[in-house]
Amino acid sequence: MNNMLALIHNETLKVLKKKRFYVVMLILVILIPVFTYAQMKIAQNSREKFDQDWRREITQQITDYQNTLGSDRIPEEWKKFRRIMLQQLQYYLDHDVNPNEPNGVTFTRTFMDNSVNLFIPLLVMAIASDIVSSERSTGTIKMLLTRPVRRWKILMSKWLVLMLFTGVVVLMTALLSYLISGAVFGYGGWNFPLFTGFNVSGTNVNVEAVHMLPSWLYLLMQCGLIWFSSIVVAALGFMISVLVRSTAASIVTLMATLIAGTILYNMASAWPTAKYLFMINLKLTDYLAGTPAPVEGMSLLFSLGVLSVWGAAALFIAFRVFTKQDILN
């Protein structure tokens, strides 16, 4: 145990000293203000158009959705999605709750929702991709593995540290987006009610199970689900980092997989088998928000299952390979 703590100390120190973590933080600090600014512009626009009257804005949005539903040019998938969104918006309107109440918490919630399948995974990958491969590309692995420590222990310490940093990355993304956007939109809104429990079946939304949650609890649940997705992404990055010697190659492999995933996500309805890919299942937060899943019949438990299998397989391969492989160069 003591030994493991020392190993974790080592690995944490290395991640910090490599400066990669700071680069990730820097990306957040640069990008979040950009999104905040864009969000602010949108808010300004609607203020001009609707006199800050969110009810009118939502009413207009519903009408606009209804109009696109009538168009023959819109693909059936989009229509289905819009029909569901429309019913949810109507629900918010009927219960006199603004789904886009402008404050730091709402911004954070929206930002996290949009980051779950690409942005946060990329940040996690940035750390995961070189946690093992950098030892191999610089040759330090020879020093590391000639210590009187079992290989699985060394790899385990790296995995635990990666898990810690995944937690830190998710936390920092939420925290920074709250702190930065709050400066513009205000820091309130923790107790603002949000609706969840929309039961999507086909194109209809069953509102029987809908209930209100305070924003802080919703955000906590959201971060928890994002964290789970991120851990699975981290496990896959970890495996590739073990399998691929060059850090650059491992980053490229990971990015290509993730970006292919987001492209596939939009086409998944046409190819139902895609639901077994991990990339299609990363948006766990959709189940919370009541957004329809990309493939019919996907549920939270299904997605958790798929992600768990991918994650566990990745870790198994990583440990198996790392403990058996010959270090030839």
> Which of 44, 138 has the CB closer to other proteins?
138
The 18-37 contact track toward other proteins, x by CB under 8 A, reads xx------------------
Binding to other proteins (CB under 8 A) within 168-197 occurs at: 168, 170-171, 193, 195-197
Among 202, 224, 272, 305, binds other proteins (CB under 8 A): 224
Between residues 41 and 95, which has the closer beta carbon with respect to other proteins? 95
* Segment contacting other proteins by CB under 8 A, of 105-113, 182-190, 219-227, 272-280: 219-227
Residues numbered 263-292 forming contacts with other proteins, rule: CB under 8 A:
284, 287-288
Q: Which of residues 58-77 bind other proteins (CB under 8 A)?
A: 58-60, 62-63, 66-67, 70-71
- Choose, by CB under 8 A, the member of 25, 149, 252, 317 that binds other proteins: 149
Instruction: Pick one of 79, 110, 167, 317: the residue that binds other proteins (CB under 8 A).
Output: 167
Nearer to other proteins, 146 or 273 (CB): 146
Query: What's the min distance (Å) between Cβ of 167 and other proteins?
Result: 4
> Please, which of residues 85-144 interact with other proteins by CB under 8 A?
90, 93-97, 138-140, 142-143
Q: Does 326 bind other proteins (CB under 8 A)?
A: yes
User: 121 near 233, Cβ under 8 Å?
Assistant: yes
# residues near other proteins by CB under 8 A? 84
